[in-house]
Amino acid sequence: MVSFIKNILRQRWKRSTASFRKHTESVLNIGDGEVAVVTYTPAADKMKVFSTFIREGIERGDWIFYLYPDEEREIVRAKLKEYGVDVEKNEKDGTLYLKSLSEFFMPDGSFDKGISIRFLLNRREEAKRKGYNVREIEDVGDFSFLNGQWQQYTVDYWDNHKWGVPPGVGVLYEPFIMELTAINVGSMSEAQTTEILKTFGGGKYPSTRFIDLFEYGDAFSRRIDMPHPKLLGRKFLLEFDPTSNYETVVRDFAREAMASLEPQSPKTK
């Protein structure tokens, strides 16, 4: 686990531009019943990815739960609208739930993990009862809402027994729930980031996946040494040897297009 995390960090710090990696049918390569810890820096346009993830959920009829850092209160709704999410409509019909971290976790000024957990458990139960799947994004930023005390989040909330699982197992996820916990590691040291990721990855059920947004966005363009903006409006003819691993090139093309909110179907010949 530690070596895997260090490899992620080394890859990020060696690069200077933001990018995204994703599966062709989804902006993020996760499915129902899975939990992922997403790391990002200010260099990555996370709102493109989160907005697409949310829009995908709305289009298939999921309920969406999205917490965001307090300082992004003014831009989250604007960015969601910019990237195709009808915020007012979906908030009104209950599809989309938006709150800042402090509004949700600290309504009275202190970290109230008990109320927060009960709210989410009740919301999940209601969704399950009504036949909805759930997509949850908890963008904890750099934990500034807890004055940087990330251990308080992991111990008091993430690993709380009220989720209904033994200590050290992590948050229990059911098949109808898709969860992202996003962390801004831009100002953190490699040692601190490694410690945080190791803590989040310590649970045994379910296995926690790690997604680094710094790896997304130029999956195809870096193969041909051409910046993404120069790809726009161009046509490509991909010729390949059927015995080669050509699917990865096509997949990278689709991944980059979707990460940039340009979901076009690549054609091969």
Domains assigned to the chain: 2-215 (3.40.50), 221-259 (no CATH)
Distance of CA 202 to the CA centre of its chain: 19
Q: In whole angstroms, how far apart are CA 187 and each of 74, 107, 133, 137?
A: 22, 27, 34, 21
214 close to 18: Cβ distance less than 8 angstroms: yes
Residue 137 β-bridge partners? 66, 180
- Indicate if the pLDDT at residue 155 is higher than 50: yes
pLDDT digits (tens, 9 = 90+) for 169-197: 444 557 788 999 999 999 999 899 999 98
> Collapsing DSSP states into helix, strand and coil, what is residue 96?
strand
> Collapsing DSSP states into helix, strand and coil, what is residue 55?
helix
pLDDT digits (tens, 9 = 90+) for 188-247: 998 999 999 888 876 555 567 888 876 656 667 777 777 766 777 777 777 777 777 777
Percent of the chain whose predicted confidence (pLDDT) is above 70: 75
Higher local confidence (pLDDT), 255 or 12: 255
Q: What's residue 35's pLDDT?
A: 84
- Which positions ≥6 away from 74 have C-beta within 8 Å? none
Q: What's residue 260's pLDDT?
A: 57
Which range is least confidently modeled, 105-109, 179-183, 251-255?
A: 251-255
Q: What's residue 263's pLDDT?
A: 47
Tokens of 91: 């908030």
Mean pLDDT of 23-49: 78
pTM of the model: 0.74
Q: What's residue 228's pLDDT?
A: 66
pLDDT digits (tens, 9 = 90+) for 62-77: 999 999 999 998 899 9
Mean pLDDT of 127-140: 94
Q: How many CB atoms lie within 10 A of CB 126?
A: 13
Tokens of 199: 């803590």
33 close to 208: Cβ distance less than 8 angstroms: no
